[in-house]
Structure 1
Amino acid sequence: MMKNTFRYLCVTLVIISFSVRAFSQADKAEKAGWHLGIQAYTFHKFSLQEAIDKAHQLGLKYIEVYYGQTLGEDIPGTMDFHMDKATQKKVLAYAKSKGVKIVASGVIICHSEAEWRQLFEFASSMGIETITCEPDYKYLKYVDQLANQYRIDVAIHNHPKPSLYWNPELFLNAVKGLSNRIGACADVGHWERMGIDPVKALKMCEGRVKSLHFKDVKEKEAGEAEQHDVIWGTGVCDVDGMLKELKRQNFKGLFSIEYEYNWDNSVPDIGKCIDYFQQEVNELF
């Protein structure tokens, strides 16, 4: 009986010790202004409610929603910046009930000034802090104007070719002269897939990085269409180097986990990514 009690106490202490350590590591990231969250597209085979549930399960407090995702059984419709106020309240209430905050949205492209304004009005109503997008060059000044009017940051994303912003030079040339509300959503995996060193690209974008679609990708093999995502620290991206560079820049913002692999059961992989991030952050800070 005493042996069982002692074994139980030892297991309990180990669990408590791990929990305290994990909390301490996450707290260090938060104090540094590094907010680890999830891009809902990671769970695009599920509803937004289910994506929020999974974020909660993973211990994540932030989510970046994407447009077109089914909202859930209890909330009809899809994520859409034309959403009515009643639906907005339901979505926000569900996220809050799970301790998850909707802080960003995208990636989106609007096709008129009226659409851009409606998008910003929606983001303002939802408490969204960052709009992730890929604006046509002709709308950049107008988007900058709206960003300052609504006090919402804009993070320009780099999809692969033929995106207007697939490499850092294109992005930096496009945003010259725009306010500091306009920055980059650095998708480090897409840079790697385009043959661009993510660490060097982050250095080039210093002062303009607003958020990240953070990932690691596998080594490309002959005949393979795309380097798929892998657990952080196991692929070809210099994850440690990227984190060190972001610390050097005194980056503050959102790391959106966008894990585009094992679509049906990615939570265990993502959990390992989170563990890796926490370990690295603990060493960095």
Structure 2
Amino acid sequence: MKKLRNAFLLAGLVMALFAKTTLAQSRADALGWKLGAQAWTFNHFTLAEALDKMDSCGIMYVEAFPGQTIGGGIEGKFDYTMPPSQQEKVKALFKKKHKVLVAFGVVVPGSEAEWRTLFDFANRMGIQVITSEPQEEYLDLISSLCDQYQIKLAIHDHPKPSKYWNPDVVLAAVKNRSKLMGACADIGHWVRSGLDPVECIKKLDGRVMSLHFKDLNNKTPDSHDVVWGNGVCQISKVLETLKAQKFKGLFSAEYEYNWDNSVPEVKASAAYWRTMVSNL
């Protein structure tokens, strides 16, 4: 009898968890939000291993980065210079792992030919967002390529003194250019630069293409990641602001701490995100 009661309790807990997850997914879908992970979170591992770790966190969407060893029986590293045959193998790997490649970066081509190759690669791979810190001389070219391929270019904000650390610089770069150009809002790097992430999001209204999502233990340049909701990045206010702006797109979890065993923290962060989204 006791075993039967325990079995019913366990079944009830499983059903409650499933219902909660389903509600969060339904709400995220309604908002047009996708929770993914930047593979850099798992850069101590191959891409194939990173996809498995994302699976353990309940994360489907992926932002790849250049130079990660592919693994999974595929030779070489992930990059936009991969030959078509290798691209097809990588696409098959994502399908096998039940993951969706949505974004790629941070990547900074150094010539017109390289930019064209990058956009062609993104188009072939089904990538919707290219994350970059582009040189100013290529901004007009990028604008035309965004419109041609209908692929977004998200300008990333590494902390100061990097060029794009402040959203004002990003806004100047995309002014009078394609509406598919905007910011990859790395809210943690803004905090490291002494900026308020909520105010930065407000300033970028309509020009947030994607996010590198994180929470930090303090507001200093050498701060480190913590489980979302336990730090200083004002996660709940950022989400509320994005909702108010009718943002639609990718949240890439980027956890740059406890590199070899970050799955528990990333999983807890994803759970927190879903809880917050369910209540929006």
* TM-score grouping bracket, smaller chain normalisation: over 0.9
Tell me by how many angstroms 1:28 deviates.
1.1
Alignment deviations for residues 16-72 of structure 1 (CA, whole Å, 9 cap, x no partner): 211221122122112210100000000000000011111122221100000000001
With normalisation by structure 2, the TM-score equals 0.98
Alignment deviations for residues 104-155 of structure 1 (CA, whole Å, 9 cap, x no partner): 0000111100110000111111110110001011110101111111111111
Taking the aligned partners of 2:133 and 2:108, their CA distance within structure 1 comes to 6
CA RMSD of aligned residues (A): 1.1
Taking the aligned partners of 2:107 and 2:151, their CA distance within structure 1 comes to 15
Q: Tell me which moved more, 90-99 or 40-49.
A: 90-99
Tell me by how many angstroms 1:73 deviates.
4.3
Q: What SS does the corresponding residue of 2:183 show, helix, strand or coil? A: strand
Q: Which amino acid aligns with 2:277?
A: V
Moved over 2 A (4+): none
Tell me by how many angstroms 1:192 deviates.
0.3
Tell me by how many angstroms 1:98 deviates.
1.6
Instruction: Tell me if 1:12 matches 2:24.
Output: no
- What corresponds to 1:54 in structure 2? 53
Taking the aligned partners of 1:176 and 1:138, their CA distance within structure 2 comes to 14
Q: What SS does the corresponding residue of 2:160 show, helix, strand or coil? A: coil
Taking the aligned partners of 1:103 and 1:26, their CA distance within structure 2 comes to 17
Q: Which amino acid aligns with 1:138?
A: E
Instruction: Tell me if 1:236 matches 2:235.
Output: no
Contact 2:58–2:267 under 8 Å retained in 1: no
Q: Tell me which moved more, 83-92 or 241-250.
A: 83-92
- What corresponds to 2:189 in structure 1? 190
Taking the aligned partners of 1:132 and 1:60, their CA distance within structure 2 comes to 19
Q: Which amino acid aligns with 1:181?
A: L
Q: Which amino acid aligns with 1:55?
A: M
Alignment of 1:24-35 (within 5 A): 24-35=23-34
- What corresponds to 2:39 in structure 1? 40
Q: Percent identity?
A: 48
- What corresponds to 1:208 in structure 2? 207
Equivalent pairs, count: 280
Taking the aligned partners of 2:72 and 2:99, their CA distance within structure 1 comes to 18
Structure 1: which 5+ residue stretches go unaligned? none
Alignment deviations for residues 170-215 of structure 1 (CA, whole Å, 9 cap, x no partner): 1111211111011110000000000000000000000000100011
Taking the aligned partners of 1:27 and 1:264, their CA distance within structure 2 comes to 32
With normalisation by structure 1, the TM-score equals 0.96
